[in-house]
């Protein structure tokens, strides 16, 4: 699957794939007008810069105890999490139309200044805090 297909699968709401494709193409046009760069380069750099490398998983020990431990994410999961972070920030701060907000977020993420990259840094910091439990991975 290409990055475009993965993004469209995350964009689909209630099975309306055509509307998600229209929104995606409109946001591509807006981002190309603003930066005068190829949309593939913008999209790839935004995904790379907002994808977390490590994640946290919580495992319950007993009834009330749960431990969080860090683990390295696979490539597909990293891409999926990056797209989810970008879409979450777009949905959280929706001011105008979705396509303009999405193109703004992709441009900011490609420049490494968006809130999705800040949430990636929060994930990395939390994983760094519980790094002493990294050897307890048994699944």
Phi and psi angles of residue 19, each rounded to the nearest 5 degrees, phi first: -70, -35
CATH number of 17-60+69-136: 1.10.455.10, 1.10.10.10, 1.10.1200.10, 1.20.1290.10?
1.10.455.10
For tokens 């396509």, what's the residue? 99
Per residue of the chain (139 residues), give pLDDT as tens.
Answer: 787 888 888 888 777 888 888 888 898 888 888 888 888 888 888 899 989 988 887 777 777 787 778 888 889 999 999 998 888 888 887 777 888 888 888 888 888 888 888 888 888 888 888 877 666 655 4
At residue 133, the pLDDT reads 66
């Amino acid at each position: 699957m290409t990055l475009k297909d993965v993004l469209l699968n995350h964009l689909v709401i209630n099975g309306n794939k055509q509307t998600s494709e229209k929104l995606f193409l409109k946001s591509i046009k807006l981002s190309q007008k603003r930066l005068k760069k190829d949309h593939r380069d913008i999209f790839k750099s935004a995904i790379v810069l907002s994808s977390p490398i490590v994640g946290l998983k919580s495992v319950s020990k007993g009834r009330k105890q749960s431990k969080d431990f860090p683990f390295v994410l696979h490539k597909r999961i990293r891409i999926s999490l990056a797209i989810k972070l970008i879409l979450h920030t777009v949905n959280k701060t929706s001011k105008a139309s979705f396509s303009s907000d999405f193109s703004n977020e992709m441009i900011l993420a490609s420049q490494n200044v968006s809130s999705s990259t800040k949430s990636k840094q929060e994930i990395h910091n939390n994983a760094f805090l519980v790094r002493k439990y990294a050897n307890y991975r048994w699944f």
